[in-house]
Amino acid sequence: MNLNQGRLPDRQPVSIVDIGSNSIRMVIYEGVARSPTVLFNEKMLAGLGRNIVSTGKLDPHAVEVTLAELRRFHALSEQAGAIKLYAIATAATRDAENGAEFITKAEDALGVKIRVLSGREEAYYSGLGVISGFHNADGVAADLGGGSLELINIRGREIGDGITLPLGGLRLDDMAGGSLKKARSIIRKELKRAKVLADAKNRTFYAIGGTWRNLARLHMHEIDYPLIVTHSYEMDPASCSDFLAKVASGNAEQMEGIWDVSKNRRELLPYGAMVLEEIIRMAKPSKIAVSALGVREGFLFSLLFAEAQSIDPLISAAEELAVLRSRSARHARELADWTGMAFAAFGIEETENEARYRRSACLVADIGWRAHAEYRGMQSANILAHAAFIGIDHPGRAFIALANLYRYEGISSYVDVPELAAIAKPVLVERARLLGALLRVVYLLSASMPGVIPRLGWRSSKTVDLQLVIPADLSDLVGERPAHRLSQLAKLLDKQMELVVSDH
């Protein structure tokens, strides 16, 4: 059992090594969980698949450095206390003449059997990664690696047929002899085989892989986007066309943020942009959503029992943060339940996602309590806006961050973060302000400890729109400050409200 207070006690670390055509990576997860937390992450851009088309073999130097790195990965996995190390390999090793020989040596270096995924399996696990990382995913997922592009149709938790195409950046560069013009011709020819792209029209296109994540970061710099979180970052196919054309032309070297991209990745960006351009032209998706989860996370997701797979990953992550960082996880859960009842009393109807976001905001509403009092709001907002959440879009992130800012800083008009407010959009900003105002009332009545909130209720009366009713045995909790904060909440709602003690 892990006794460290900063980690969850019921988790046993597992490692996954992913041997790709361009990069090799080991991720050590805190445990097999619905919302996986990375304990340690290490990668190397080895380039195993470089020149595989022209030579038929894995790059000799890349093989040498990869084997050395795999031995290091094995040692790191043991050092981290991982109870299991899984290893998967993708396009380059299954296609190369010396792939089997390399796998034998790699298995000796890692000390475990390596599963060489077929193209269909690679597409399947990429699809599972998207299912794992998005709430009710619906669209076509595409995983662009160094050697191949996997495309697969997803509806909810259903995965359709997939296809693998030889359109990874390294392979394209090799096949086209470094010619971007020839590469585009190859891309168009290969994509015509992908019937699944017809299913992408007016649906979400989920972009997976390091090349596309780096494209997303460049796009964020290009439009001065304020929240540098790639997962669930969305690009409009029409408005990003000029950006993609610029990168595809090979003229990205002067773009803002380009030097944050490693040299090996920079070389592949034009091919990634070109593939995305041609997919948009052919498939006409409604939007492009970047996924930070792919084959590795899909494989990890497959290790979960079916019941665990159905858990909401956002709620799961928020509950874990409550356990790790709040004064009382039980109090956080009481808040999450009670605010739903309160919103109903206010006549507020929530969509499924709005309810999920409200619940999550309540679960994490106390994570900043150890910070200096003057900085709790901004610190909490910063942590939550950039947290490793999945199953949430960027407006949802902004809502959760703003709700907790208002919970600490108050709801006056000067308390705001314009960048987050722009992402959340007006309706969510006002909803966050309302939730923050509500939390400011009940925290003063509960002292941040459980047992009180479930006993508070709402009722209408002849004199005011709503009364917040406190049981008689808790009457000493009533005071000027809670009453004042209730009046602030009432003003937001444009209702008359009062704090009363139950008469029975």
Proportion of the chain in helix, strand, coil states, percent, rounded to 5: 50, 15, 35
Q: What is the DSSP letter of 195?
A: G
> Judging by beta carbons within 10 Å of its beta carbon (0-12, 13-18, 19+), is residue 236 exposed, middle or buried?
exposed
Assess contact for 312 and 391: CB atoms under 8 A: yes
Q: Which amino acid is at 329?
A: A
Assess contact for 361 and 435: CB atoms under 8 A: yes
Residue 266: per-residue pLDDT: 85
Matching residue, tokens 């290790």: 303
Neighbouring C-beta atoms of residue 97, cutoff 10 Å? 11
Q: Given pLDDT bands bounded at 50, 70 and 90, which one contains residue 414? A: low
| Strand order through the sheet with 114-116 | 38-44, 24-29, 14-19, 84-89, 114-116
Write the pLDDT tens digit of every residue in 190-222: 999 999 999 999 999 999 999 999 999 999 999
Taken in order 289, 292, 294, 298, the sign of the CA dihedral is: negative
Assess contact for 160 and 196: CB atoms under 8 A: yes
**Buried b vs exposed e over 51-80: b needs ≥16 C-beta within 10 Å?**
bbbeeebbbeebbeebbebbeebbebbeeb
**Size of the chain, expressed as the number of residues it contains:** 504
Distance CA 47, CA 49 (A): 5
- The pTM assigned to this predicted structure is 0.94
Distance CA 58, CA 46 (A): 11
Say which residues have a Cβ less than 8 Å from residue 458's Cβ, sequence separation at least 6. 341, 342, 345, 466, 467, 468, 469
Write the pLDDT tens digit of every residue in 93-129: 998 999 999 999 999 999 999 999 998 999 999 999 9
Write the pLDDT tens digit of every residue in 450-474: 999 999 999 999 999 999 999 999 9
- What is the residue-averaged pLDDT of the chain? 94
Question: What percent of the chain clears pLDDT 70, i.e. is strictly above it?
Answer: 98
Distance CA 428, CA 362 (A): 15
Per-residue pLDDT, averaged over 133-155, amounts to 95
Residue 1: per-residue pLDDT: 45
Residue 174: per-residue pLDDT: 92
H-only helix segments in 233-369: 241-248, 263-283, 295-302, 306-309, 313-325, 329-345, 352-363
Assess contact for 166 and 225: CB atoms under 8 A: no
Q: Given pLDDT bands bounded at 50, 70 and 90, which one contains residue 424? A: very high
Neighbouring C-beta atoms of residue 497, cutoff 10 Å? 21
Distance CA 471, CA 454 (A): 11
Q: Examine the pLDDT at 34 and tell me if it is beyond 60.
A: yes
Assess contact for 34 and 307: CB atoms under 8 A: no
Instruction: Say what the alpha-carbon torsion angle 351, 356, 358, 362 is, to the nearest 10 degrees.
Output: 160
Question: Which domains, ranges and CATH numbers included, belong to the chain?
Answer: 14-116 (3.30.420.40), 120-295 (3.30.420.150), 313-501 (1.10.3210.10)
374 or 207: whose pLDDT is higher? 207
Write the pLDDT tens digit of every residue in 388-401: 999 999 999 999 99
Instruction: Say what the alpha-carbon torsion angle 270, 275, 277, 281 is, to the nearest 10 degrees.
Output: 160
